[in-house]
Amino acid sequence: MKSSDTPIVKDLVLVGGGHSHVTVLKRFGMKPMPGVRLTLICRDAHTPYSGMLPGYVAGHYDYDQAHIDLGALARFANARFYHSTVTKLDLAEKKVICDNRPPVPFDLLSINTGSTPNTDHVPGATGNVVPVKPINQFLDRWEALSARAMETEAPMKIAVVGAGAGGVEITLAIQYRLGQMRKAAGRDASDIEFHLFSGSAEILPTHNAKVRKTFVETLAKRGVVTHLGEAIVQVAPGKLRSAGGGELEPDEILWVTAAGAPAWPAEAGLSVDEGGFIRVEDTLQSVTHPEVFAAGDVASMINHPRPKSGVFAVRQGKPLERNLRRMLLGKTPVPFKPQEKFLGLISTGDKYAIASRSEWSVRGRAVWQWKDWIDRRFMDKYNDLPDMDEEEASDIPSGLASADVVKEISAIAMRCGGCGAKVGATVLTRALSELRPAPRGDVLIGLHEPDDAAVVEVPANRLMVHTVDYFRAMVDDPYVFGKIAANHSLGDIYAMGAEPQSALAIATVPFGIESKVEDTLTQMMSGAMEILNDAHCALVGGHTSEGPELSLGFAVNGLIEREKIMRKGGLRPGDKLIVTKPIGTGTLFAADMRHKAKGRWIAAALDHMAMSNRKGAQCLIEHGSQAATDITGFGLLGHLVEMVRASGVDVELDLNAVPLMDGASETVKAGIVSSLQPQNVRLRRAVANQEEAGKDPRYPLIYDPQTAGGLLASVPGDRAEACVAALKALGYERTMIVGEVLEQSDRLEPITVRI
């Protein structure tokens, strides 16, 4: 996580990682604005580039070539990336409401969330058709459809509803790809029928007559049945009915009709057009709410209506960025007039394309190559990001802060250390007021009735288990970081077989004006509280100060019966070793800091890290586990060495079975490891066959330090398979048996790594 000593003064929140916002992010990355905190909230970690989508479906591009990695781009822009879906706006309170996290406050908001084909207006369509957007959901369905087309021996019928550029292109791309796949498998593709439905009397209604004629001929030549003037009026599972009464029973119905708008902008009170799209001025500001900007499909320029197309969204990027900066500085935004004519490039799936602009058009394989060159050049701008120098503390630009805020910033600069670094009482009270710690009868004095210290009761016949952990944020999202920090801290309690009882928090939040400090603290503690409450662990107090970096830790107390303590020394010959979560956080976050990790790898890693070990520990106990530890800073091997030495046994570790996080092998192969790794590697002396094992490129991962890692435990050999099945059913999907416990040999090195 980049840190800067410049206090945060304003929050610019970007909702949606569409074609305009990627330009905004890139340009803010190239030219940061001191004092402005950027936050990107997006449903997807990788956003598809519309121009390459049909080529991706046709098999000409792989996933990474056709998608912009928003995680990496956000990191380049020094923006916080919140992987969430926006469901509402509270414009009065200036807050964005998301599906899976606390509200996100903004000073300036920009919306670029695209559109989805409307299914509401046709009875039965919702749920029975596959809309082409959200594209990532469509692409999942496309994978399933192509798998089905390869498995089935029966003839298939695929219907595409909507014959604009998107519908025509996707039909031809799918047909081409399925044909190629079947051909490669030595099969015939002619038993897959394609039906293209158009409500209007023509296909491609926004294109010139020559282009339409070319595509009518191409579709006919390729055997696509075109149903013109046949608007679909009713859908049932596997069934379509058109206005003329015609019926079809397709195996899959793809929906590529006119763009529809999300409901939440109108529900929030933003002025929208008849289609529900946000009405914006020439400055791209909402006509009713000047602090809200919108661009791309979701926006409707009242003075310059244009078709919903990626081309316009891309072109709005630069003026949007310029006007966001101007607004932040208190300057008047400048108007922008979109071009009227644009170059349309439509492909036919087989590396052939037609270019058109107004009445002009040209076609051929060379046109496809030209389109391919344009698209790749565009993508390179976002996926090959330059290295930038670390941001230095800089002066807040004039105009960004009001006179009161300037005074507040001067006070921050003069703040003392010691107790002076404590976050002010009002901020703390406000931030903590929304938190509801788990109520427990054995907490006598806690947050509900604050005093100088908390008082908790230790029930009769129970022992108290203590542990503490504290670390710097490895992610820019304080809410997710709060969850991970709490999870990590609870790990030791579960590994002892204990039940968490109470926790004290120690937090550091970056310097900033009060409202920004309060938001960071609220987000972080809300995440932590969710995890603590789920563990029925009461947060009873803590200490918060300001500092250069976001950090959080917990001192956690747990309760246990004396005879149920799970020690590291409980490994027995014949036991199997089980790991409940995949390995790889050290290398992945080291790669993320260098902009070398893909957004989806980090998103998946964060999901694993946010998963509690509570149920896992319980399950292991129920399957007879006598020894467990949570895998953290020493890595898998370090923690295994501790267990092996304490138990007086040997073990065989099967490297092929060790579950790895997505991307971890790639980043380790690229030589990227955590700064803690060299210390962990010193433990290689415990490995009998280190020279042979070291040849395996995955070998360094057993030394990879973990944050909020899973449990490493042993269970009796005859119960191991059942235990793994139960753990998987509880959501620990990557659980694996990774080795077995052997009698102690007379070798000095107790661990053999099988490769």
Q: Which residues are catalytically annotated?
A: 419
Burial of residue 92 (number of CB atoms within 10 Å: 0-12, 13-18, 19+): exposed
Alpha-carbon torsion angle 384, 390, 395, 399, nearest 10? 20
State which H helix or E strand residue 546 sits in.
Answer: strand 538-547
- Looking at beta carbons only, is 172 or 620 nearer to ligand FAD? 172
Q: What distance in Å separates the CA atoms of residue 14 and residue 110, rounded to the nearest whole number?
A: 5
Closest to 576 (Cα-Cα) out of 418, 712, 395, 394: 712
Q: Which stretch binds ligand FAD (CB under 6 A): 9-17, 357-365, 625-633, 711-719?
A: 9-17
Closest approach, Cβ 166 to ligand FAD, in A, equals 3
- Looking at beta carbons only, is 370 or 471 nearer to ligand FAD? 370
Among 132, 606, 668, 683, binds ligand FAD (CB under 6 A): 132
Angle of helix 514-534 versus helix 478-495 axis, rounded to 10 = 30
Residue 501 phi, psi (nearest 5)? -115, -55
In 3-state terms, what secondary structure has residue 531?
helix
- Looking at beta carbons only, is 112 or 551 nearer to ligand FAD? 112
Site for ligand FAD in 444-463 (CB under 6 A): none
- Looking at beta carbons only, is 311 or 473 nearer to ligand FAD? 311
Q: Give Cα separations from 362 to 205, 220, 370, 642 (angstroms).
A: 18, 20, 12, 70
Site for ligand FAD in 159-218 (CB under 6 A): 166, 169-170
Closest to 600 (Cα-Cα) out of 66, 76, 56, 46: 46
CA 510 to chain centre: 24
Convert residues 220-259 into a mask of x (bound to ligand FAD by CB under 6 A) and - (unbound).
------------------------------------x---
Closest approach, Cβ 112 to ligand FAD, in A, equals 5
- Looking at beta carbons only, is 58 or 535 nearer to ligand FAD? 58
- Longest CA span, the chain: 87
- Looking at beta carbons only, is 166 or 635 nearer to ligand FAD? 166
CA 519 to chain centre: 21
Q: What distance in Å separates the CA atoms of residue 437 and residue 447, rounded to the nearest whole number?
A: 8
Is 14 within 8 Å of 21 (Cβ atoms)? yes
Measured distance between the N- and C-terminal CA atoms of the chain, rounded to whole angstroms: 35
CA 99 to chain centre: 13
Closest approach, Cβ 183 to ligand FAD, in A, equals 24
Is 636 within 8 Å of 583 (Cβ atoms)? yes
Closest to 195 (Cα-Cα) out of 275, 237, 252: 252
Closest approach, Cβ 208 to ligand FAD, in A, equals 16
- Looking at beta carbons only, is 297 or 530 nearer to ligand FAD? 297
Site for ligand FAD in 14-73 (CB under 6 A): 15-20, 41-44, 47, 50-51, 53-54
- Looking at beta carbons only, is 197 or 511 nearer to ligand FAD? 197
Site for ligand FAD in 76-95 (CB under 6 A): 85-86
Per the DSSP assignment, residues forming a β-bridge with 577 are 714, 739
Closest approach, Cβ 436 to ligand FAD, in A, equals 27
Closest approach, Cβ 478 to ligand FAD, in A, equals 18
Closest to 713 (Cα-Cα) out of 564, 495, 488, 500: 495
Closest approach, Cβ 362 to ligand FAD, in A, equals 16
Residue 198 phi, psi (nearest 5)? -130, 130
Report DSSP letters for 339-360, one per residue: -S---EEEE-SSS-EEEEETTE
Sign of CA dihedral 55, 58, 59, 64: positive
Among 39, 113, 119, 226, binds ligand FAD (CB under 6 A): 113
Q: What distance in Å separates the CA atoms of residue 162 and residue 230, rounded to the nearest whole number?
A: 10
Site for ligand FAD in 292-331 (CB under 6 A): 296-298, 308-311, 313
- Looking at beta carbons only, is 289 or 684 nearer to ligand FAD? 289
How many residues form the binding site for ligand FAD (CB under 6 A)?
34
Interacting residues of 715 by C-beta distance below 8 A, sequence separation 6+? 575, 576, 578, 620, 623, 624, 625, 723
Q: What distance in Å separates the CA atoms of residue 215 and residue 44, rounded to the nearest whole number?
A: 33
Is 752 among the residues that bind ligand FAD (CB under 6 A)?
no
Closest approach, Cβ 347 to ligand FAD, in A, equals 8
What's 474's DSSP letter? Answer: S
- Looking at beta carbons only, is 99 or 395 nearer to ligand FAD? 99
Amino acid at 461: N
Closest approach, Cβ 69 to ligand FAD, in A, equals 11
Closest approach, Cβ 165 to ligand FAD, in A, equals 6
Angle of helix 614-622 versus helix 478-495 axis, rounded to 10 = 20
- Looking at beta carbons only, is 173 or 640 nearer to ligand FAD? 173
Q: What distance in Å separates the CA atoms of residue 231 and residue 242, rounded to the nearest whole number?
A: 5
Site for ligand FAD in 270-299 (CB under 6 A): 296-298
Query: 620 in the Ramachandran plot: left (φ > 0), alpha (ψ -120 to 50) or beta?
Result: alpha
- Looking at beta carbons only, is 54 or 276 nearer to ligand FAD? 54
Among 7, 35, 103, 114, binds ligand FAD (CB under 6 A): 114
Per the DSSP assignment, residues forming a β-bridge with 346 are 354
Q: Which residues bind ligand FAD (CB under 6 A)?
A: 15-20, 41-44, 47, 50-51, 53-54, 85-86, 112-114, 132, 166, 169-170, 256, 262, 296-298, 308-311, 313
